[in-house]
Amino acid sequence: MDGILRRPGEGETLFDSARSTLRVLVEREELTVTWFRYAAGEKGPNPHIHRRHTDAFYVLEGELELTLGPRATEIVRASAGTFVAAPPEVVHTFRNASGAEAVFLNVHAPSMGFADMLRARRDGRDEDAERFDQFDPPSDGGRPLTEAVVSRPEAGELFDRENRAIAIKSDLPQVSAFDIAFDPEFVVDPHLHDDHVDSFYVLAGEVDFTAGEDVVRAAAGTWFSAPPGKRHGFRNPGPGRARVLNVHAPDGGFVAGIRGG
């Protein structure tokens, strides 16, 4: 099949314990996407920056606490449906500060070898892990908080059209994201992109994805990526409205296309 399909529970599991689970859904130069489960109180890394890539989060279940901006003082409590992105040089960290489990997607775009760094840490190869594009906060505090993206549930620049509603969740050059709800009448015919990976996470309903010459039906919780040059399309088999998180890495002019009609 032309494309990367990960049904619920699939993907390379790098860590799995009572406290956390991490699975790699897609690993390419353009992006790495991981599925995380954090138990109550589980903490991520110390505040840090990336110099050459964007680190983004989409909360699926529960609540994730993200700390952003100079001196890491802005706290964002992100509930399910929230998209947060820290572009290069924006200080950030995250944890599950709630009393319940949190599940979220983490997108690194471009990848910069994120999955390889995680494997190195797992295997005790600290020297290899330290080559990853991650650094302590700079003395000047890094880029201002206004450079980060925080898009709450039901928020985003909305384009409500006849048979679909598209909300822009991120319009960063390295990664754009869209919440798309669409009726069975809305069909995206097979096509390809030369310059970016087009990815989808099914949030509700079912979606038929065209991948090359194949058509696969995907339920909620499924991830699908079409790499550059790979034929793909999608439709809603019905009967109700379906909903996906659509991620482009890099943006490839998609935001401009949505805004242009």
82, 256, 243, 56: which is closest to 164 by C-alpha?
A: 243
In the predicted model, what is the mean pLDDT of residues 159-185?
A: 97
What DSSP character marks residue 137?
A: P
In the predicted model, what is the mean pLDDT of residues 231-247?
A: 97
For residue range 64-105, list pLDDT tens digits in order.
999 999 876 789 999 999 999 999 999 999 999 999 999 999
199, 244, 218, 168: which is closest to 30 by C-alpha?
A: 199
In the predicted model, what is the mean pLDDT of residues 6-28?
A: 98
Enumerate the H helices of 70-193 as residue ranges.
114-122, 126-129
pLDDT number for residue 2: 83
The helix/strand/coil state of 1 is coil
In the predicted model, what is the mean pLDDT of residues 211-237?
A: 97
pLDDT number for residue 104: 98
In the predicted model, what is the mean pLDDT of residues 200-225?
A: 97
Walk across the sheet containing 223-226 and list its strands: 4-6, 223-226, 197-204, 242-249, 176-182, 164-171, 157-161
CA distance 182 to 169: 16
CA angle 235, 178, 110 (to 5 degrees): 110
CA distance 148 to 89: 10
In the predicted model, what is the mean pLDDT of residues 22-30?
A: 98
For residue range 136-169, list pLDDT tens digits in order.
999 999 999 999 999 999 989 999 999 999 999 9
Sequence letter at residue 242 = A
CA distances from 73 to 45, 96, 135, 235 (A): 15, 17, 18, 43
pLDDT number for residue 252: 92
